[in-house]
Amino acid sequence: MADDVGTPGAVPVAGNGLLGRRALLRGGLGGAALLVPGFTGAAERPPWMRAPGTGMREYGAPSPLEAHVRRVGIASQPGTDGSGASRTPLELLEGTLTPNGLHFERHHSGVPAIDPGAHTLLVHGLVRRPLTFDLDALARYPLETRLQFLECSGNSAVNILSPVPADQPCGVIHGLVSQSEWVGVPLGVLLEEAGLRPEARWIVAEGADAAAMSRSVPLEKALDDAIVALYQNGERLRPENGYPMRLFLPGWEGNMSVKWLRRLRVTDRPAMTKDETSKYSDLLPDGTAELFTFPMGVKSVITRPSRGVGLRERGVYAISGLAWSGAGRVRRVEVSADGGGSWAEATLEPAAAPKALQRFRIAWRWDGGPAVLLSRATDETGAVQPTRTSILEARGRNAFYHFNGIQAWRVDADGSVANHYA
């Protein structure tokens, strides 16, 4: 194969091997393909072409050879098996959507086995007419689509809680973020149907799990882009994601998108539930606590290469990662291959919507030496993803929610990759 150094377009754009956009567009990445010298005809047919294959299935499943692609970092509170989380294996996926079977989970008292025919949503409080809606009733309202991310506010916290870099893959560290096409009824339509009273300012959403997960949501958000989601990536919500209905609040911390939604109480003030006071609040160094920290910050992470997804040999690779912001679209992602000494702008796929995951990519020629890979996102409001150090200095080690610090991956001479604090 041709040496990539001689490839048209393989122009260095930052230190330690980052290459310009044309290197990704034109091929010529060098060494990846195998030359077939003197090829004259089709290769011998492999065994699976010599007999008919298997038939159709009512509901498909991944290849058994992909059984390693599963949720990771599964952990529960002591004495429970359902008060905990599982994470999306980001480093084994591509694109921006998460298959429903791999969407992260975060439950406060397990997954309730809800009979959808017996489940209703109650809208009451500061409304003119308290109403209940069953699934058939909701199906008659206009549905809208939200192809957007959902991120747990505790995502990536290990990178601030652990004094040394956790020896874990990308999904265990950052896999409390997933993306789906959520489809449901705009919350504003249901509130209008019930008739908001003039003093209405907040909505208290309650789930039908044993924890009765409850969060207060400002009315402005409820009337902006909130939906009561009924479908996830085309089909009904999965049980672990709120079947048969959940709140979905684009861009806001995941626990507010209350699953198994049974009740919306309209109020004039927040309810100060256990889930927004004892949890999901952040203790700051001065002894005060931050409450109601709703939007998720601007963030990015390189998913390949990353720990467990290393490099085979020196040569050119496509670095691939995800970027997102709870404030809107990501405008720019910069990548460094020399630990922050120099940066180059990655190619960024357009967002399906504001507050959606976006893929970024950049070509990188690995020369076989050590390297530290970083990515840094900037969103359309101008917010820039901060460093881990700056977050620690500003917020201390107790404020572990909403951690969006830059992720560093250290590449060693054998091509292996490790979590690293830059």
Binding to its own copies in span 119-158, by CB under 8 A? 119-120, 122, 124, 129-134, 136-143, 145, 147
CB 363 within 8 A of CB 318: yes
Among 307, 361, 376, 395, binds its own copies (CB under 8 A): 361
* CA 174 from centre of chain: 8
Residue pointed to by tokens 């489809």: 183
CB 303 within 8 A of CB 314: no
206, containing H or E segment: strand 202-207
Nearest approach, Cβ of residue 122 and its own copies (Å): 6
Binding flag, residue 187, its own copies (CB under 8 A) = no
> What are the start-end ranges of the H helices in 154-207?
158-161, 170-174, 187-194
Identify the CA nearest to 10 among candidates 1, 21, 23. Answer: 23
Binding string, residues 74-93; x marks residues near its own copies by CB under 8 A: x-x---xxxxxxx-----xx
CB atoms within 10 A of CB 317: 20
Q: Which of residues 27-46 bind its own copies (CB under 8 A)?
A: 27-29, 32-36, 39, 42-43, 45-46
Q: Which of residues 275-304 bind its own copies (CB under 8 A)?
A: 304
Binding flag, residue 336, its own copies (CB under 8 A) = no
**Partners of 252 in the beta sheet?**
295
Sign of the Cα pseudo-torsion (214, 218, 219, 222, in order): negative
Among 6, 44, 54, 286, binds its own copies (CB under 8 A): 54
Among 5, 44, 59, 382, binds its own copies (CB under 8 A): 59
Give whichever of 111 and 284 is closer to its own copies, judged by the CB atom: 111
Among 71, 221, 331, 388, binds its own copies (CB under 8 A): 71
What single DSSP character describes residue 238? P
Phi, psi for residue 390 in degrees, rounded to 5: -65, -35
**Rounded to whole angstroms, how far apart are CA atoms 103 and 152?**
12
Binding flag, residue 5, its own copies (CB under 8 A) = no
CB 231 within 8 A of CB 237: yes
Binding flag, residue 169, its own copies (CB under 8 A) = no
Sign of the Cα pseudo-torsion (116, 118, 119, 123, in order): positive
Give the range of 101-109, 293-301, 373-381, 394-402 binding its own copies by CB under 8 A.
101-109
Among 24, 205, 348, 408, binds its own copies (CB under 8 A): 24
Binding flag, residue 62, its own copies (CB under 8 A) = yes
Peptide bond into 62 cis (omega under 30): no
Give whichever of 110 and 396 is closer to its own copies, judged by the CB atom: 110
Give the range of 151-159, 204-212, 246-254, 411-419 binding its own copies by CB under 8 A.
204-212
Nearest approach, Cβ of residue 199 and its own copies (Å): 18
Instruction: Supply angle C-alpha 91, 96, 99, rounded to 5.
Output: 80
Binding flag, residue 415, its own copies (CB under 8 A) = no
Binding flag, residue 190, its own copies (CB under 8 A) = yes
Q: Which of residues 237-256 bind its own copies (CB under 8 A)?
A: 238-240, 243-244
